[in-house]
């Protein structure tokens, strides 16, 4: 893959990139409608393909929050046309890597030394490049290490990037401005944390310690003395990413084992720690040669306060959902039903959200769940498709915590679906006694 020699880091350079992409997209529309004059039955597939290619190319060169949003959108499969999902999902594994001289410059700026002065060996070719940083293999004292290097300018450009992404998000998501602002504010807070590598090392050590007794889940050891604001050094974990693992055609028993490890990893955190690894894209996990789940990235953590956790999980794991009064009370606490809603609106949102929660909770309502079955996902996507077209859902509803908690759980469901795993869903239950 071709390496990238520079990253636009100033506001002017980055906004120029967006403007250029906007012009390209405008050109794609002109091209599409010109062809449509001669062929009225022409669908939007080629237009979507062209737009997805141009937007992804631009975002992958900008890296950082711009590319991170592409990665997030690629997981919300019922929001975008397929061509966008296919293109944006590349950001889960591989964006264009930075060139060697840019890597050395980043190292020297952070440590005052080149990689060769710190490690016994350091491979200037990255093993994988994603949205916030890229990973290089190194050795020190006979140990194989993974060194994650943050792209220059990523942390400083988050707020301005998100403003630039807004017009694309408007067009792609069709959200109201208020809803989009809530979404972008919450994304901004998490991204600012994600670019703080010192915080990531601290959290990685805390979480891997807290989760160390989970079956078949393994973590690298982290080295704070070889890490800094823009660089993280940890043990190298050998293994296959999900895509590669599935290409080996693993037996059902192994799919179930890895799926169970994933389910336990997420639900232990949600219900025991009340804070969760909120970035469940496949690039953050490895399946090791000894058939364990390796977790290699703790950059994005979402904490769940009591005033969200209790009403939300009471709807999913108790009989509250069968009691209309209690359900409406929980919906009010979660800002899904507003104080000034009319009686008709209360009834409408009660029915709509009850349907959504009942669907979402299906894996929790039995002792085990078969994620290979397409019907569950077809129902989920059909529901998402249905509400996306309803004017009642154009206004913002629900507390901001839903953004990452939904993303986490739907992302988990999606990975389990790709694994075609059957898992025991009663291992870590919501804890609702105060």
Q: Residue 133 pLDDT > 90, yes or no?
A: no
The neighbour count for residue 374, using CB atoms within 10 Å, is 10
Q: Which residues, at least 6 apart from 190, have a Cβ–Cβ distance to it below 8 Å? A: 278, 300, 302, 404
SS3 13: helix
**Residues 62, 124: Cα–Cα separation, whole Å:** 21
Average pLDDT rounded to a whole number, residues 17-33: 45
Span of 242-256, 257-271, 397-411 with lowest mean pLDDT: 397-411
Average pLDDT over residues 382-405: 77
Q: Looking at residue 370, what is its pLDDT?
A: 96
pLDDT of residue 1: 45
- Identify the weakest region by mean pLDDT among 113-122, 170-179, 413-422: 170-179
Q: Higher confidence at residue 94 or residue 211? A: 211
pLDDT score, position 150? 84
Considering 74-88, 91-105, 170-184, 203-217, the range whose residues carry the highest mean pLDDT is: 203-217
Q: Count Cα atoms within 13 angstroms, Cβ side, for 203.
A: 22
Within 9-155, residue ranges assigned H as helices are: 11-38, 45-62, 64-75, 82-88, 100-111, 115-118
Q: Measured between alpha carbons, how far is 77 from 388 in angstroms, rounded to an integer?
A: 13
Q: Give yes or no for a contact between 200 and 232, defined as CB atoms under 8 angstroms apart.
A: yes
Are 413 and 363 spatial neighbours (Cβ–Cβ below 8 Å)? yes
Over the chain, what is the mean pLDDT?
78
- What pLDDT is attached to residue 66? 53
Give pLDDT, residue 83.
Answer: 46
Which tens digits make up the pLDDT trace of 192-251? 888 889 999 999 999 999 999 999 999 999 999 999 888 999 999 999 999 899 999 999
Indicate the pTM of the whole model.
0.76
Q: What are phi and psi of 337, to 5 degrees?
A: -120, 130
User: What does the pLDDT average to over 385-401?
Assistant: 76
Give all strands (DSSP E) within 199-352, no chain letters: 217-218, 231-235, 275-277, 285-287, 293-295, 301-303
What is the mean predicted confidence (pLDDT) over 257-277? 95
Find the range with the poorest average confidence among 13-27, 119-133, 404-418: 13-27
Q: What is the pLDDT of residue 176?
A: 62
The pLDDT assigned to 107 comes to 87
CA dist 115 and 140 (Å) reads 11
Q: Which CB contacts under 8 angstroms, 24+ apart, belong to 115-119?
A: 115/147, 118/226, 119/145, 119/147
In the chain, where are the structural domains located?
11-95+155-192, 238-434
pLDDT for res 259 = 97
């Amino acid at each position: 893959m071709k390496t990238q020699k520079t990253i636009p880091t100033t506001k002017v350079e980055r906004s120029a990139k967006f403007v250029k992409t906007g012009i390209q997209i405008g050109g794609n529309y002109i091209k599409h409608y010109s062809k449509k004059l001669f062929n009225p039955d022409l669908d939007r597939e080629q237009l979507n393909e062209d737009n997805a290619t141009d937007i992804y190319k631009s975002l992958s060169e900008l890296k950082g929050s711009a590319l991170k949003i592409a990665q997030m959108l690629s997981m919300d499969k019922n929001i975008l046309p397929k061509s966008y999902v296919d293109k944006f999902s590349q950001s889960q594994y591989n964006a264009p890597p930075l060139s060697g001289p840019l890597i050395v410059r980043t190292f020297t700026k952070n440590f005052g030394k080149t990689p060769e002065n710190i490690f016994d060996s350091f491979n200037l070719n990255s093993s994988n490049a994603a949205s916030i940083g890229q990973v290089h293999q190194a050795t020190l004292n006979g140990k194989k290490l993974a060194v994650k290097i943050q792209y220059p300018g990523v942390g400083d450009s988050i707020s301005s990037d998100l403003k630039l992404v807004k017009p694309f998000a408007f067009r792609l998501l069709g959200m109201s401005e208020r809803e989009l602002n809530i979404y972008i504010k919450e994304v901004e807070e998490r991204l600012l944390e994600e670019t703080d590598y010192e915080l990531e090392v601290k959290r990685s050590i805390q979480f891997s310690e807290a989760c160390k007794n989970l079956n078949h889940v393994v973590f690298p050891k982290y080295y704070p003395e070889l890490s800094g604001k823009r660089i993280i050094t940890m043990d190298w974990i050998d293994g296959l990413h999900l895509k590669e693992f599935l290409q080996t055609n693993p037996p059902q028993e192994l799919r179930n084992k890895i799926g169970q490890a994933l389910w336990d990893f997420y639900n232990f955190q949600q219900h025991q720690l009340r804070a969760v690894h909120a970035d469940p894209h496949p690039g953050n996990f490895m399946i090791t040669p000894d058939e364990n789940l390796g977790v290699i990235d703790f950059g994005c953590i979402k904490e769940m306060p009591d005033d969200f956790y209790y009403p939300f999980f009471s709807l999913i794991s108790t009989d509250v959902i069968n009691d209309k009064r209690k359900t409406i009370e929980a919906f009010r606490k979660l800002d899904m039903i507003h104080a000034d809603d009319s009686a008709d609106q209360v009834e409408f949102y009660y029915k709509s959200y009850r349907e959504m929660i009942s669907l979402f909770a299906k894996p929790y309502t039995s002792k085990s769940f078969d994620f290979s079955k397409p019907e569950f996902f077809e129902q989920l996507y059909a529901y998402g498709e249905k509400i996306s077209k309803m004017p009642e859902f154009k206004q913002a509803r629900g507390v901001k915590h839903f953004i990452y908690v939904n993303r986490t759980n739907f992302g988990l469901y999606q990975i389990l679906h790709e694994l075609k795993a059957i898992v025991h869903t009663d291992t870590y239950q919501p804890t609702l006694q105060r």
